[in-house]
Amino acid sequence: MRVARIVSTARHLPEVEVTNASLKQRLGPAFHEAVDKLEEATGIRKRWWAPDGVATSDLALPAARLALERAGRRPEDLDLIILGTDSPDYLTPATSVVLQHKLGAKNAGTYDVGCACASFPTGLANAAGLIAANPSIKTVLVVGVYLMHRLAAPDDPLVFLYGDGAGAAVLEAGEEPGFLSAAFSADGSYHGHWGIFSGGTAEPASEESVRAGRTRVKMLQRYPPEINHDGWPKLVRKLASQDGFGVHDLDLVLFSQVRKPSIELVMADLGLPYAKTHTIMEEMGYTGSACLAMALDDAIERKKVGPGSLVALVGSGVGYNQAGVVFKL
């Protein structure tokens, strides 16, 4: 049976470093207390922002190139590109097709995944299923990329969260264990809590909506923390039960990199030592659709996992969407 294997990973950070101290200077004294509270609540100390003129596809390009280089593949070897983001270049066309052009992947089909910060595990699950079912699909590039700070109002305190970045993985068919299982969850009753609410068909952008700030990303209602505190362990346990392994068999469990205390709580719920997870938000901020790809690459680079490791990735996105996958590296 054809099984999708992760053969390489990569990540890319843009060059503009924004520490919490420098963010206080940008926002002004009225926001200093809010920045301090958010640092305590999340563990985020700094983030990296792309300079003006850089689009989401530009941010994805270096990560895609490096992942291909590490896999020993050329852009023209790709059969498919799956790109996950909720900060696209355009409402339409898809950002994946722009990346395909910039990358020179002339033989690849493309599509976008729009599950916000659950997009990368969703993309991995999509790629694994297509590889298993289609012998003609041999090499797939899955990218997660985030440039949300560009879509936020400059004086929105939640700009604290948004770090720009991209992560990528190359998947290929193999006979050894690779992809094991996927699990999903959603609750659309939360769709009005956090998002960009003008610019689509529900409310096309207008002069009035731009002036009112509705074309900017905003949190209108706070998400209950139980969404992640209960939802993440539930997905991990579902993944384990679907494939017949124990939660304690996992070598690494990665979660959306938005709030370190939530990850600590969930690891305790699962009965797993904190050493079996990995976090990057402290130095990279909340990189949304890219965070799981970036955290996986960072964990591999730091040799926390390697060939044969059993790894779960669980992501949450506004809406809300949740997705999890398990791979044996």
Domain that holds residue 225: 180-328
Same domain membership, residue 218 and residue 78? no
Same domain, 47 and 194: no
141 lies in the same domain as 108: yes
For residues 220 and 237, state if they share a domain: yes
Q: What is the DSSP letter of 222?
A: P
In the prediction, which pLDDT does 263 show?
97
Whether the Cβ atoms of residue 142 and residue 171 lie closer than 8 Å to each other: yes
**Both 109 and 185 in a single domain?**
no
Same domain, 231 and 129: no
Angle at 78 between CA 75 and CA 82, to 5 degrees: 105
Q: Are residues 35 and 119 in the same domain?
A: yes
pLDDT at residue 162 in the model: 97
| Domain boundary pick from 135, 155, 176 | 176
Q: Enter the tokens of residue 249.
A: 């068999």
Query: β-strands 46-49, 3-12: how paired?
Result: unpaired
pLDDT in tens, 176-202: 789 999 999 999 999 999 999 999 999
Final residue of a structural domain among 134, 160, 176: 176
Q: Which CATH number fits the domain that encloses residue 264? A: 3.40.47.10
Q: Are residues 149 and 210 in the same domain?
A: no
Q: What confidence tier does 175 reach under pLDDT thresholds 50, 70, 90?
A: confident
Say whether both 291 and 143 belong to one domain.
no
Same domain, residue pair 285 and 232: yes
Output the CA torsion sign for 186, 192, 193, 197: positive
Longest dimension (CA), the chain: 60
**Total number of domains constituting the chain:** 2
Q: What is the DSSP string of 31-58?
A: GHHHHHHHHHHH---EEEEPPTT--HHH
In terms of domains, do 193 and 224 share one?
Answer: yes
pLDDT digits (tens, 9 = 90+) for 90-133: 999 999 999 999 999 999 999 999 999 999 999 999 999 999 99
At which of 141, 176, 211 does a domain end?
176
